Every structure is written in C-alpha cells, then in structure tokens.
C-alpha cells in the first residue's frame, strides 16, 4: 500500500506511539510470566523435592517455556522500538508536508490540489506583468515545494511499509520463519531491526547546529579538497536526495529495512550504512576522523559513493527519474 497525500495530511501519527506503548506492555507481561515460571514452578521440581524422569522432563519444559517467553519479550520490545522510530519519522514527514503546503498557499499563493500537486496561477508568471527573474524565482519555489511534498509522502510510505515488514519478519505468518528468507520474501532473515545499531551506534542526543544548505556547501568544499569537483546542478541534486532520504534530519535512522535486519541500519542525511560510510568518507581539512552522524561527513561519503557507483549525481536512479519524469524517487 502506498500512502497518499490526503492520508498523510489527515493522519494521526500518535497512533504509532499508542501502538508502541501496547507492545511494550506485552513485552513487560511476557517477562513477568517468564519470571513467574522460574520463581514459582522451578522450586517444586528440584532434586529431593521431585526426582526422576518425569521431573527431568518437567524441568526441561520449564526451561523451554522461560526461554520462549524471554525471546517473545525481546521481539515485542524490538517492535516497540521500531514503532517509536517510525512514529517519529511519520510525524516529521507530516509536519514537512503541512509546512510545504502552507508555504505554497500562504506565502506564494500557489494552488495545491487534493493529490498534493502544485499549480502556479497564471498571473504570478505572466510575462506581461512579471519580470524574468521574478518568474524564475516563482517557478523554482514551486518546484522546491513540490519536491518537499513528494519527499514527505515517500518517507511516510517507507515508514508505514517498514513497520509492516518488521512485524512480518519478527512474527511471520503460519508456516513462515523469522530467520529464513529475505525478510518477508526470503534471503537474509527478518525484514526489520534486529536490535543492533552497528559500529557507529545510535544517534547522538544533541543534534549539530547549522542547516542543510550550509552542510552541502561545506561538503562540496571537502570534496573539492580531495580532487572531486561537482557540476552546477549537483548541489540541488544533493539537496533532493537528502529531502527524500532523511528530510534534512542528520540523526535519521532506518530500523526496518533489509540493512537494519542485517545489523547495519542506514543513518544520517544521506542514509548511508556504516560499511559504505567507512569506505567512502573523507577527512575534513584539520578535522577529526569522519563520523557518520556528522552531517558534512555524511554528505561527503554519500556523494562519493554515488559518484563511484553511478558516475554522476544526475545518473543516480531517483534523480534521473525526477529529471526525465520517468518515475518517482527511489533509494540510491
């Protein structure tokens, strides 16, 4: 299922957090029952109190029950974490969408239809009454806001689909296996977070100062220092990738896709996994060792990776689709 503009606009992201709270309650209950089995049942089947083959079988059953309850509690807690993260991402996507719509309607006086498509009223770009620079500025604003709307919907859809995949991966349908296949379709285990943040750990508590435009400028300068010069449109391509991948949140993290299931979730502005980041990161002049949570370092590594894989940023599949109107954004 794909999230629509109207669904995201009218959604109640608090439902994610309410659901997460329910999963937490179930996890806590499972742990309580595991403790009950250990504390209340085991004492009655100890040597001297109850011996023999039947006692051995009973002890095995108790151990197995405790293990299953503890394992279930861990899976339930994982779902809680995934839901909390997805709820935060979905809520941010909704806020980004609503902010873009407000700016389009209230600041620029554009029209936004029921599918989130922006139309510029003719008088705003009438060459008879508006100069060339004003018309260009107006069209650029419409294109930027349209990207923000589409990117917000994309991220919300990723979060929504990811939760479903995570649930299917950790609690597969009857006949399925949480460890076989590629998540819900086969290959590398459950499609969902396995509790491992990877070598660089979880996002820091304090976010860095600055904004996306500043971070992009700094990253381009670092790339230039390392002999990589970008074209005149590349800054806008980077901004577009960031908008779709993270919404400009340097501490964004994906806890539900196949990368997360494999123990190395995608992180930061450009959503790079630790391995890719470490392979393509470049040290800033006079700076510390690159860090995936540093927004400039993350952009540098993401761009360097994209250039090595696709030859140019214009050839990144998602960007190419948008440039040539051949489809929507896809992850790179």
Domains of the chain: residue spans and CATH? 193-332 (1.10.530)
66-78 tens-digit pLDDT: 788 888 888 888 8
Kind and range of the H or E run holding 112:
strand 111-112
What is the mean predicted confidence (pLDDT) over 41-57?
68
* pLDDT (tens digit per residue) in 124-142: 999 999 999 999 999 999 9
pLDDT at 205 over 70: yes
The confidence score (pLDDT) of residue 287 equals 80
| pLDDT greater than 70 at residue 173 | no
Please give the mean pLDDT across all residues of the chain. 88
**How far is 104 from 110, CA to CA, in rounded Å?**
5
pLDDT digits (tens, 9 = 90+) for 206-248: 989 999 999 999 999 999 999 999 999 999 999 999 999 999 9
Instruction: Please determine, for residue 272, whether its predicted confidence score (pLDDT) is greater than 50.
Output: yes
pTM of the model: 0.83
Predicted local confidence at residue 12, as pLDDT: 93
Pairing status of strand 111-112 against strand 118-119: antiparallel
Confidence of residue 55 (pLDDT cuts 50, 70, 90): low
Q: What is the mean pLDDT of residues 93-113?
A: 98
Average pLDDT for 88-101: 96
For 267, the 3-state DSSP assignment is strand
Q: Is the pLDDT of residue 93 over 80?
A: yes
Are residues 79 and 89 in contact, defined by beta-carbon separation less than 8 angstroms? no
Mean pLDDT of 83-97: 93
Cβ proximity of 251 and 88 under 8 Å: no
Selection from 253, 247, 254 nearest residue 211 by Cα: 247
Res 56 pLDDT > 90: no
């Amino acid at each position: 299922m794909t999230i629509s503009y109207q669904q995201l606009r009218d959604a109640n992201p608090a439902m994610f957090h309410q659901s997460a709270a329910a999963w937490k309650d179930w996890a806590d209950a499972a742990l309580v029952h595991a403790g009950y089995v250990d504390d209340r049942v085991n004492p009655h089947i100890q040597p001297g109190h109850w011996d023999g083959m039947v006692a051995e079988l009973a002890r095995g059953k108790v151990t197995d029950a405790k293990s299953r309850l503890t394992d279930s509690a861990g899976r339930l807690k994982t779902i809680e974490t995934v839901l909390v993260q997805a709820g935060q991402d979905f809520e941010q996507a909704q806020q980004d969408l609503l902010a873009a719509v407000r700016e389009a309607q209230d600041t620029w006086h554009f029209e936004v239809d029921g599918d989130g498509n922006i139309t510029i009223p003719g008088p705003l770009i009438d060459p008879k009454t508006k100069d060339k620079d004003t018309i260009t500025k107006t069209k650029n604003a419409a294109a930027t806001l349209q990207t923000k709307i589409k990117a917000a919907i994309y991220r919300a859809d990723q979060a929504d689909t990811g939760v479903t995949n995570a649930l299917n991966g950790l609690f597969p349908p009857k006949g399925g296996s949480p460890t076989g296949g590629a998540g819900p379709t086969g290959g590398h285990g459950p499609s969902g977070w396995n509790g491992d943040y990877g070598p660089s750990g979880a996002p820091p508590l304090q976010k860095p100062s600055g904004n996306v435009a500043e971070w992009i400028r700094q990253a381009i300068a670092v790339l230039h220092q390392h002999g990589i010069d970008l074209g005149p449109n590349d800054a806008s391509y980077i901004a577009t990738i960031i908008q779709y991948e993270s919404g400009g949140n340097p501490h964004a993290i994906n806890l539900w896709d196949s990368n997360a299931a494999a123990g190395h979730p995608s992180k930061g502005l450009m959503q790079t996994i630790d391995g890719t980041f470490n392979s393509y990161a470049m040290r800033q002049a006079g700076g510390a060792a690159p860090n995936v949570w540093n927004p400039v370092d993350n952009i540098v590594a993401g761009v360097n990776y994209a250039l090595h894989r696709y030859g140019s940023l214009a050839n990144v599949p998602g960007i190419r689709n948008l440039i040539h109107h051949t489809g929507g954004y896809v992850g790179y």
